[in-house]
Structure 1
Amino acid sequence: MKKNGLQRNLALTMAAVMALSLTACGTSSNTGSDKTTVSGDGQQTASMPADPADLKGSIIVGGWPSGDDGFKAALNGFHDKYPNIEVEFQFTDTTSHHQSLATSLAAGSGAPDVAMVEGAYIAQYRDSKALTNLLDEPFNAEKYKNDFVALKWDQAYSVDKSQFVAVPWDVGPCTYFYRTDVFEECGLPTDPAEVAELMSTWDGVLKAAKAVNKPGERWLVPNAAYFYQLMYCNRDYYDEKMNLKLDREGDLDCLNAIIDLRADQLDMNVDMWSTEAYAAYASGACVSVATGGWFGGFLKTDIDPDGTGHWGVAELPGGIPHCNWGGSFLVIPEQSKNKEAAWAFIEYMLCSAEPQNEMLEAVDYFPAYTPAYDNTAIYDAEDPYFGGQKTKALWASISEDLEPVFNTIMDVTAEGCIYNSVNAGLNQGLDAQGIKDLLAKDIEDATAELKNQQIQVYKDAGLWNE
């Protein structure tokens, strides 16, 4: 995306925090509950009370909108189970939240008891000793491992797998959103399966783009570069030797299609998050966009609230495999004075089907907790906004297909390069390999410092061989 400079700076800040916190002291005192047990080696560990009403005190939950709206939708049930825990919300914009959290973790004070972490940055946090290891007593988070989307759960382990610091909240299964009314007008199929079949090849994508195009008035997508970004959407940019790995099946075919789309002015050539793109989605001037399933919520509430029946959802075009875009986690800072109550909040909200689905209905955060999908009344329901499609069933199917990948602290910076580098290559008239080479150089330059920090993490863990 265009904000790659800001992303890189934030990544560097959090990587520095991680480096500092790796050398931090051990577990801090835990004063939320006086109950302790004695382990086999004679050390005391905290324990959860048998009666939830015995958990008392207050916790602060921090994050960014609309996470607070999601939590509030499930809060009555939490208070029914934990009547003596008070919850205060501290929510601000995503960047400010992460900057404040990083500062508080480095300082050792000022962090909330429960904090949201955006999926893009989880690699910067997962080795931090400033966060509570949820594998330990009394949390025992590992018991939930098989109940979560594998890709998301795996991201929260430290590099040596000795700690697990974050529970996944949501997942962003990627799909293709398209204007059914415009497709019908242009003689294209509107049924999701038929649209997916038509656009399963880049020739099909170009055919659709030409069919809907009105020069200077209507385009297939906001920016063709995002098709290429989807090929790396799981943020698996590096191998375990920290070598950049941009080679993907069909990557040059994708770039050649992007070159043709831009040459024929079949994309708007604007950022998909820009005001111009938002207005074009609503008016039908921009006919489609491929992104995470959460975009459906944006369409309904912010972008095109009057668009009921004018949108469809299909599998990704161009043969791009199932992938994830976004998603968030919840962590407990080690400095929290009420970790048991903080864990009770996380466990209730994220490790239970009913609250997960209440939050889904409120803010369209698609659960990473897969038992939530068993509610057929929700996941087999027809969505009127999308012409009666069973969109949640589609997203659930994609989510369950997402396997773990290798992530690093460089990933968010690498991702930030794609939009600018691909567009720069298009502007320079480079061929597909030329664009790919330019992107590789830009990523390597932008991530050099972060790569050294990541390698040091592996060295400290005894996992790096020169």
Structure 2
Amino acid sequence: MKRKWALLMAGVMAFGMAMTGSAAEAETNTDLSGTLEVWGWTTDPEYQIEAFEKAYPNVTVNYTMIGTDYDTKMQTIVDNRTEGPDVFYADVKTVKNYIESDAWETLTDDPYNIDVSDSEDYTVKLGSDSDGNVKALSYQATPGGFWYKRDLAKKYLGTDDPDEISEMLSTTEGMLDVAEKLKEGSNGETHMFASYKDLWQFANYGMRSVAWVDGNKFQMDDYIPEFFDLAKTVRDNDYDAKIDTWSEAWYASCADDSVFGYAEPTWGLQYVIQTGAPDSEGNWGIASMPAAYFNGGSYLGVYQESQNKELAAEYVKFVCTNKDFLTQYANDKGDYTSLKSVNKEIADSGYEESWCAGQNTFKFFSDQMDKINTDIVTKYDDTIGNLMLNNVDLYLNGQLDKDAAIAQFKDDVASNYRRLDVE
């Protein structure tokens, strides 16, 4: 990717980094040696391990990538305190499960004393228990926006400027107005969204204001009935292409004119757009939506039963707090990091994302950071959110009316979590 890094790379040179291949070779440390076992569910750690082994040449990291049953296997190991990895990763949707299971060491206490003062505040909060003990850290922060196709924006909206598109999408009504313009201008060929569920990507942590669960009590946010209405408006007006998220058709829609854009976080560029439309560099922009939100993020910590905890903590420290490494990671991957200083330096450097026609995506995400609300995150979010969407589907398909679908949603929550008080 062709990006302008004049100021940033000057800073990188000052750090004394050496760029070798796809990973940064930070100043080497030969004092530590040993072997680490690291577990995860994606290929992402491979980049991190390559950089870590270059910085710590006497350490070998064995990485085990587990498939779709990763969390089931990991939770079983944690619950039974059986032998497992030294370090393991968790998605934001499961990180609270492992924290409440006391699966990880406290990273900011002796003997590890990892400094998290430069880490984005919400990532530290999500990786901490109810007493504020930091159990897991992330290498990325994941604020979101609306990734749109510039050629379609010019053709049907008269502009592809991110600020102007953001203004159009600043309210729910404005967002629906844009959807109607796209529909009319394209004779129904271009849809605003791939699926109405794209709206849940931002509404989940953008429009809700209370957690699903408080103590043992289930709480349904006042916004939820509004979301049922919004979903029906989108579906009834043909504003979505009715494509399932993560399906082959969903990825393929990135490369044609059937879908205008996608509500995705920082990693949407790398894992959605570049995967689905590898020849579309320069045709994208990112705009804000009616509410700021975040989605996803990988966290990692030191397993309580590890026999190699201090070396494991050094790995977590390197991946999540090493400024040299995370600067190079941002350079190579275009991903927004978990370090405030790195994000600020890149945003202030005049960063230009070639996939977004030179838009400073780091500045965009930095502007969203202070607006996102992570206070409502719980370990129940993924399951309860999916139960709700299942009943939205029943409503949209005409199998249940709105009131019946909401009542069924509550019944489903009660069935899945019998200890919760569901009214």
- Which range, TM-score by smaller chain? 0.7 to 0.9
**Equivalence map 1:51-450=2 (5 Å):** 52-72=29-49, 74-75=51-52, 79-80=54-55, 82-93=56-67, 95-141=68-114, 143-144=115-116, 146-161=117-132, 163-213=133-183, 214=186, 217-233=189-205, 237-238=211-212, 240-248=214-222, 252-316=225-289, 319=290, 321-376=291-346, 380-428=350-398, 436-449=406-419
1:310 counterpart letter in structure 2? N
Stretches of structure 2 that go unaligned for 5 or more consecutive residues are 1-27
**Contact in 1 for aligned 2:86/2:307 (Cα 8 Å):** yes
Check the 8 A contact 2:213/2:378 in 1, yes or no. no
Contact kept? 1:62, 1:97, Cα under 8 Å: no
SS in 2 for 1:186: helix
Secondary structure of 1:419's partner?
helix
- How big is each residue's C-alpha offset from its partner over 1:365-416, in whole Å with a ceiling of 9 and x where there is no partner? 4322222213337863111111111112111232344354143332221122
- Does structure 1 retain, via aligned residues, the 8 Å contact 2:280–2:355? yes
Q: How many angstroms apart in 1 are the aligned matches of 2:78 and 2:174?
A: 50
CA gap of 1:444–1:367, structure 2 versus 1, over 3 A, is: farther
The code of the aligned residue for 1:56 comes to S
2:144/2:264 contact within 8 Å kept: yes
TM-score (norm 1): 0.76
Pairing 1:4-43 to 2, within 5 Å after superposition: none
> 2:213–2:380: 8 Å Cα contact kept in structure 1?
no
2:240 and 2:314 mapped to 1: Cα distance?
Answer: 48
Q: Cα RMSD (Å) of the superposition?
A: 2.8
> Between the two proteins, what is the percent identity of the paired residues?
21
Whole-Å separation in 1 of the counterparts to 2:47 and 2:244: 28
| TM-score, with length taken from structure 2 | 0.83
Q: Distance in 2 between matches of 1:363 and 1:73?
A: 14
Q: What does the per-residue CA deviation read over 1:177-208, in whole Å, with 9 as the maximum and x for residues that have no partner?
A: 11111121224431111111112223322222
Map 1:450-461 to 2 at 5 A. 451=420
Residues 247, 130 of structure 1: alpha-carbon distance in 2 compared, 3 angstrom cutoff: closer
Partner of 1:16: none
Note the C-alpha offset of 1:216: 6.2
Give 2:10's aligned residue.
none
| Distance change >3 Å, CA 69–CA 114, structure 1 → 2 | same
Pick closer, same or farther for the CA change 1:261–1:429 going to 2, 3 Å: farther
1:418, distance to aligned residue in structure 2 (A): 3.3
**Larger mean Cα displacement after TM superposition, 182-191 or 214-223:** 214-223
